[in-house]
Amino acid sequence: MTSFKFSPPFLTGANRVTLQMVQVIIALIPAIIALVFYFGYGVLIQIILALVTALLTEAAMLKLRNRPLKPFLSDGSAAVTAVLLAVAIPPLSPWWLTVLGVSFALIFAKHLYGGLGYNPFNPAMIGYVLLLISFPLEMTTWLPVSSLASQVPDFKMAAELIFTGQWQGQGVDALSGATPLDQMKTQIGLMRSPEYVSSQPLFGMFGGLGWEWINIWFAIGGIWLLYRRVISWHVPVALLGSLFLISTVVWIVAPQVSGSPLFHLFSGGTMLGAFFIATDPVSGSTTLKGRLVFGAGAGLLIYLIRIWGGYPDAVAFSVIIMNMLVPLIDYYTQPRVYGAR
């Protein structure tokens, strides 16, 4: 009797989407710890609030679309969107700001386009841009880092400020200040040299005080994602390379225009954008050459908007603009078919 052994093609590995999303969240943890260290427990409260909002919104939209809840709720995509948006907004933002941003991101940038895998724009950045344009005061009310703050909010104080807007008669505006990118842009506009601005207490060794370490931890988390092959090197290298190149050229030719190249790399949301936002596989380019173009374009736009645009940081606008160009980029960067001329 002859027996046959068949390979079991029906066997599958772990859910790749869930595994990748979990690894992205793990990679974000060191930078989140750094954010809590420099800005207090408001960061954690915003993350929890965003996660709860994301799961409720995701469940409601899946129910409306007659989709099964368990596989989509457990894939981690909504959680990643929530965490990315939560770490990008000011730590003591009012609760409704986080709820509105996360809900809008999932409803309008994800589910109205067909859900995970069909969104042409990065959902977290769509939510962020909506909040930045609609509520610029709340979105630019950042705290100074803990070493410069008159009072670092503990958990209770942060919760009261987020949910009531007041703590013992004080509002968030009494504790807030300009970010290093905002301060650099404003003071250069007042004809002060970048060297003079960088010598102020708000600035560290080569970036914004505290922000340089936050960016370093985002970069370390991103490098780990590269090692785990969750993301490819093309977008981060192209984005950081183009941002470094153009900021170096302008720094040499016209040093009075902006801060140093290292300042741009290690301030604001540069590393978060390079490793966690622009690398979105759904809304980014699908070809390897296209990813290089996508990243280089995003880096160039970040610098142009920072220097000559209306906002001191520019990661969200840059990524969304490049998302719009993805069909064109993919069209012109298709790999040559074997045998074709």
Are residues 157 and 26 located together in one domain of the fold? Answer: yes
Confidence of residue 12 (pLDDT cuts 50, 70, 90): low
Is 341 inside any structural domain? no
Boundary of a domain, candidates 164, 199, 224:
164
Is 80 inside any structural domain? yes
Asked if 333 and 131 count as a contact pair (C-beta separation under 8 A), the reply is no
pLDDT at 4: 47
Confidence of residue 206 (pLDDT cuts 50, 70, 90): confident
Are residues 159 and 208 located together in one domain of the fold? Answer: no
Is 62 inside any structural domain? yes
**Dihedral angle over CA of 134, 316, 138, 88, nearest 10:** 140
Are residues 218 and 120 located together in one domain of the fold? Answer: no
Are residues 188 and 319 located together in one domain of the fold? Answer: yes
Checking if the pLDDT of 324 tops 80, the result is yes
Are residues 26 and 144 located together in one domain of the fold? Answer: yes
CA distance 272 to 62: 29
Are residues 203 and 321 located together in one domain of the fold? Answer: yes
Question: What is the average per-residue pLDDT within 158-177?
Answer: 85
CA distance 91 to 304: 27
Are residues 229 and 127 located together in one domain of the fold? Answer: no
Are residues 44 and 68 located together in one domain of the fold? Answer: yes
Asked if 197 and 259 count as a contact pair (C-beta separation under 8 A), the reply is yes
Checking if the pLDDT of 8 tops 60, the result is no
Is 42 inside any structural domain? yes
Are residues 106 and 201 located together in one domain of the fold? Answer: no
Is 8 inside any structural domain? no
pLDDT at 176: 82
Checking if the pLDDT of 15 tops 80, the result is no
Are residues 54 and 110 located together in one domain of the fold? Answer: yes
CA distance 186 to 179: 10
Tens of pLDDT, residues 50-73: 999 999 999 999 999 999 998 888
Are residues 135 and 33 located together in one domain of the fold? Answer: yes
Boundary of a domain, candidates 130, 164, 198:
164
Tens of pLDDT, residues 93-107: 999 999 999 999 999
Residues in the chain, how many?
341
Q: Give me the domain span that covers residue 147.
A: 17-164
Is 3 or 83 the better-scoring residue by pLDDT? 83
Tokens standing for residue 118: 């069909």
Boundary of a domain, candidates 164, 188, 220:
164
Is 9 inside any structural domain? no
Tokens standing for residue 252: 């040499």
DSSP per-residue letters across 170-221 = EEGGGT-B--HHHHHHHHHHTT--HHHHHTSTTB-SSSBTTHHHHHHHHHHH
**Distance between start and end Cα atoms, the chain:** 54
Element (DSSP H or E) covering residue 244 = helix 234-253
Is 11 inside any structural domain? no
Is 124 inside any structural domain? yes
Are residues 111 and 193 located together in one domain of the fold? Answer: no
Total of domains in the chain? 2
Spatial neighbors of 155 by CB under 8 A, at least 6 apart, are 41, 44, 45
Question: What is the average per-residue pLDDT within 2-25?
Answer: 69
Bridge partners (DSSP) listed for residue 208: 203
The angle at the Cα of 53, spanning 23 to 107, to the nearest 5 degrees, equals 90
